[in-house]
Structure 1
Amino acid sequence: MPVDTHSQPLQAVPPPTFRYKSAPDPATINASEVVVDYLARLQKAIEKPTSLSLQDVILAEGFWRDGIFLTWDLRTSRGVDNIGQFLAKDVSSKRLGSLKFKPTTGNYKRLPILAASESAISILAYIDVESDEGFGEGVIRLYLDSNNTWKAFTIYTTLTSLKNHPEASGANRPHGGLHGDQSSNPTNWKERLAAFSEFTTSDPTVLIIGAGQAGLTVAARLGRLGIATLIVDKNPRVGDNWRNRYHSLVLHDPVWYDHLPYIPFPKTWPIFTPKDKLGDWLEFYARSLEISVWTSTTPVSSSYENGKWTVKLLREGKERTLSPKHVILATGHSGEPNIPTFPGQEVYKGAITHSSKWSNPERLRGKKVLVVGAGNTAHDIAQSLYSNGAYPTIIQRSSTHVLSSKVGLPALLGNTYCENGPDVEEADLQFFSLPNAVVKAAHQVIIADLKDPSKDGATIEGLNKAGFVTDDGPDGAGLLIKYFDVGGSYYIDIGASAMIINGKIGVKHGRLDRFTEKGVLFEDGQELEAEEVVLATGYQNMRTTAGAIFPCVKDAVKPVGGFDAEGEFNTLFRDSGHPGFWFMGMNLAHCRWYSRFLALRIAGQEFGLH
């Protein structure tokens, strides 16, 4: 069951097309010269941004997407009127002192890319941006309109560093040693790191709850910015949040999409990461980046007053009280397990287990098992059950979007995340620079094409004939938009679909009426018997977890996830509704990208920039 995100409708906006009367020969276009000329025109237009000045440089329905560079928020403006108002009001009242554009030089991989067809001539170009307070980068997508004028369809700007507070990486990497006379501080690196991580004489500025990819990535970035940060996690080891998941779990996203910041996966890494391997990597990641983590630690009480938290923690049976300025909840994009109750559960003789606690499929050999739910987890569990000699049946209560790992997933990721694709930093800039409305339109085309029988179409048809109901995602936009929009109800097929089609995994589509002694009775009167029922029913919204751990924020924080009116994500990485409280989550790729925004946002506040 997807989480309740309160998502706003997202209109799909495809790239523009034109009827050219006398378009130039693409071979005669010098893309670099076009970009330089365009940036000069854009700079002049935004000096006094109005609809009139912008209409000569931005298409009427163009976009300006910004990642905390122009304001300290994630914003997307569409149309020259809205962009003009955004630049004139929201930006001028915030932190923009100056905005300078220059074409990126010195990196041959970031040269402008020219594309041409009968209906569109376009240039994708990387740019550097600068304000009085920070440096950033971006992407512009220019189109030659029917009057042979280059205008932007999308402009993307994002903050990457603060001028007076650079990251301790690259040219600013720490020295590491204390050469010479060490009589004033005879401790070595290991001893200094251990002392710092205990926070015995000071409080962390930021306290993070959860040591998964969300907590670790934002802690890594905060650490490089000099912000004292501590992660606490209830598990005995970093990475246990993955190790403790169901036995057969392997990530459905490929390696090229899943790197973490600063330390990418090695070239020997498998395409799809097993859960225990990822857990071990997260543990290594925390150690390598000197991230302070207290394991076997849980918050037991909290309060917020005068800009500071008071958080009492129970650490291996002992109490500690800390007073951080910021708390980040990073316990997972979804919150507490969503465990529905059904009439008659008390009379059922078998076990009822939520997927978050389910394990050991081999114990069910030769037995019937019902799996309630039809997303990734439900399919993986059913596949594992069949492989271990059980007789699983998936209970599907609503439709599911199905995309094959072999054909569909590469189609979605295209040439951006693949073996011979660009470096991850460049791939991310391409991928995340597109407004979600444009992504939605592009994926509508991809999903429609995947329905061809030679691609995913035959599988979809076979599933429907077997009684498994599929859908094409919101407005036909497929998996990614469905993940953003509702948080679930999709399956990246790694083999279970064929088992359903061949009858190895049973399917029952319908609503449960009640449990019986031997199984489940449906509203249509059919009863299915089972030795065990697994509830692969997803998770609640993160705000539920927030209210449970930090009761004082319960009525203040906003729903997490889904789209806002501008097509940006609700609440995640942004203002939560309660001061000093933040949400961090999503998959590895989104944690890699958005962790920078949240870290810079907090750092900017701590350094007095906003």
Structure 2
Amino acid sequence: MEKATVTIVGAGPSGMATAAYLHQLSIPYILLEREDCYASLWQKHTYDRVHLHLPKQLCTLPLMPMPDHYPTYVPRRLFLDYLNDYVTRFHIRPVYRRSVEASRYDAGEWKVGARNLDSGEVEEYRSRFLVVATGISTDPSIPEIEGLGSFNGEVLHSTEYKNGGRFSGKKVLVVGSGNSGMEIAVDLADGGARTSIVVRSPVHVVSRRISAMAIALIKHTSMKWADLFATTMSKIVFGDLSKYGIQRPKKGPYALKDEIGKYPVIDAGIVDKIKSGEIKVLPAISSIKGKSVIFENEEEYSYDVLIFCTGFKRSTKQWLKEDYLLNEDGLAKITYPNNWKGINGLYCAGLARMGIYGAAIDAKKIAHHIKSQI
């Protein structure tokens, strides 16, 4: 059994930000991490060409700005360098390969049971405060599709994809039209794959410049004006994408993000490749038979590879039974800015779908609230 003032679950950017603030305030903590490294999504489960989709000013962890020489949109390699420096500066030392399986609040303290994935034993960690920082991207999710088990090609999730090199000449179907799906489709096409992408529901596509200006408008005016600007400019820049199979949602891009956490797609070359025919857009999958995929419009094509960019499911609620802080999806029940605080010393960081920027705000509030109670 180990004790500290605070137990943090998750050593991604949210947990790291919380740990940095606790370190600054000289508050003892234990940081538990299921993987064998911090920021495992960035270190092990992202594709090579990925960049931060927002300007670096909105992706900076607290107390340490990114270097001035970093570009506005930071590539994975430089972001990892930044995280490495951050861990060193704030003496962040996670306890790795600890998978949390249970938690309960009893007699004024939290008791967290975590399985040591090396020894197989369940260890107990006790603390007055518990911070859930497990992130919005935890366990890869692949939807149930009729006949998927019969597919005799290669099936993988976006977390397993690195680059398009080994798929050259192959027929590849990307399932999922968020930022990961669109960017991976571009990477595949650049690498010589014959690429198609499933766009099942309406999606906003904006350029980096439009996105940056819209975010500035949210800060200085309102979301309504930001949405009007983004949709108007996207129509001017990209034209009518419905003729290529991409419908625009009725609600604006930032209203949608605020309501359901659906981010607009940042164009990384996808529009040009769709217009040129390098990437084919298809509707939802109806069923799969062997290598043949049947779509809802009754078209049928064969593929060598299926890549699912279909997001994640969160397992937090399996070990955190209290229902006053997180919903069934493992995200904050209460909207920003009061999303971070539960009761009995329970907090969550980075679970309000506000990215690293929101996680940094949560971490500061949590650390100072804890400091005020000890």
Give the TM-score of the pair, scaled to structure 1. 0.56
Partner in structure 2 of residue 511 of structure 1: 284
For structure 2, the 5+ residue unaligned runs are none
Is 1:215 the counterpart of 2:15? The answer is: yes
Q: 1:276 to 1:233 in 2, by over 3 A?
A: farther
Query: Following TM superposition, by how much is the alpha carbon of 1:358 offset from its aligned partner in structure 2, in angstroms?
Result: 2.7
Secondary structure at 1:273's aligned position in 2? coil
What residue is the counterpart of 2:341 in the other structure?
574
Specify which of 285, 310, 315 is matched with residue 545 of structure 1.
Answer: 315
Q: Distance in 2 between matches of 1:336 and 1:460?
A: 36
CA contact (8 A) 2:185 2:195 kept: yes
- Letter of the 2:310 counterpart: T
Is residue 383 of structure 1 aligned with residue 157 of structure 2? no
Residue type at the aligned position of 2:281? V
2:195 partner amino acid:
P
The structure with higher relative contact order (CA 8 Å, sep 6+) is 2
2-side partners of 1:552 and 1:561: how far apart? 13
Q: 2:71 aligns with which of 261, 265, 270?
A: 270
1:237 Cα deviation after fit: 2.4
Q: What letter matches 1:412 in structure 2?
A: A
Please give the alpha-carbon distance, in whole angstroms, between the structure 1 residues aligned to 2:108 and 2:133. Answer: 21
Q: What amino acid is aligned across from residue 269 of structure 2 in structure 1? A: G
1:484 to 241, 258, 261: 258
Q: Evaluate the alpha carbon distance shift between residue 409 and residue 556 of structure 1 in structure 2; reply closer, same or farther with a 3 A threshold.
A: closer
Matched with 1:75 is: none
Report whether the alignment pairs 1:289 with 2:90. Answer: yes
The SS at the match of 1:392 is strand
* Compared CA separation, residues 331 and 279, structure 1 to 2 (3 A): farther
| C-alpha displacement of 1:261 | 1.4
Q: Conserved in 1, the CA contact under 8 Å of 2:168 and 2:191? A: yes
- Residue 376 of structure 1: CA displacement? 0.2
Cα deviation, residue 490, structure 1: 2.4
Mark the structure with the bigger radius of gyration. 1
Identity %: 25
1:485–1:563 Cα contact (<8 Å) kept:
no
Which aligned pairs between 1:286-365 and structure 2 lie closer than 5 A? 286-315=87-116, 317-318=118-119, 319=121, 320-365=123-168
Q: Distance in 2 between matches of 1:341 and 1:315?
A: 31
AA of the residue aligned to 2:29: T
Q: How much has 1:252 moved relative to structure 2?
A: 1.2
Q: Tell me the CA shift for residue 309 of structure 1.
A: 2.1
Q: Name the SS for the 1:342 alignment partner.
A: coil
Matches within 5 A, 1:70-89: none
The one of 438, 457, 470 equivalent to 2:236 is: 457
Deviation sequence 1:383-406 (CA, Å, 0-9, x none): 11111110111101100011101x
In structure 2, do the counterparts of structure 1 residues 444 and 391 end up closer, same or farther at CA, with 3 Å as the change threshold? Answer: same
Give the residue type in structure 2 aligned to 1:410: A
Q: How does 1:45-444 map to 2 (within 5 A)?
A: 203-244=3-44, 245-315=46-116, 317-318=118-119, 319=121, 320-405=123-208, 407-414=209-216, 431=219, 439-444=222-227
Check conservation: 2:244, 2:275, Cα contact below 8 A. yes
The residue matched to 2:278 in structure 1 has which SS? coil
Which residue of the partner structure matches residue 447 of structure 1?
A: 230
After superposition, the C-alpha distances for 1:357-400 in whole angstroms (9 at most, x for unaligned) are: 33342221101111111110101110111111101111011000
Give the aligned residue type for 2:356: L
Structure 2 residue aligned with 1:501, among 266, 271, 275?
A: 275
Gap change, CA 1:277 and 1:297, over 3 Å in 2:
farther
Asked if the contact 2:179–2:265 (Cα under 8 Å) also holds between the matched residues in 1, the reply is: yes
Judge conservation of contact 1:206–1:327 (CA < 8 Å) in 2: yes
1:173-224 Cα distance to aligned partner (Å, 9 max, x none):
xxxxxxxxxxxxxxxxxxxxxxxxxxx9x61221112211111111211222
In structure 2, C-alpha distance between the alignment counterparts of 1:266 and 1:551, rounded to whole Å: 38
Contact 1:402/1:471 (<8 A) preserved: no
Paired with 2:346 and 2:316, the residues of 1 have a C-alpha distance of: 9
Q: For residues 271 and 297 of structure 2, what CA distance do their matches in structure 1 show?
A: 25
1:464 Cα deviation (Å)?
2.3
Q: Distance in 2 between matches of 1:225 and 1:253?
A: 29
Compute the RMSD of aligned alpha carbons: 2.7
Deviation digits for residues 286-342 of structure 1 (CA, Å, limit 9, x no counterpart): 221122322233224433322322223344624542112222221213453332111
1:588 aligns with 2:356: yes
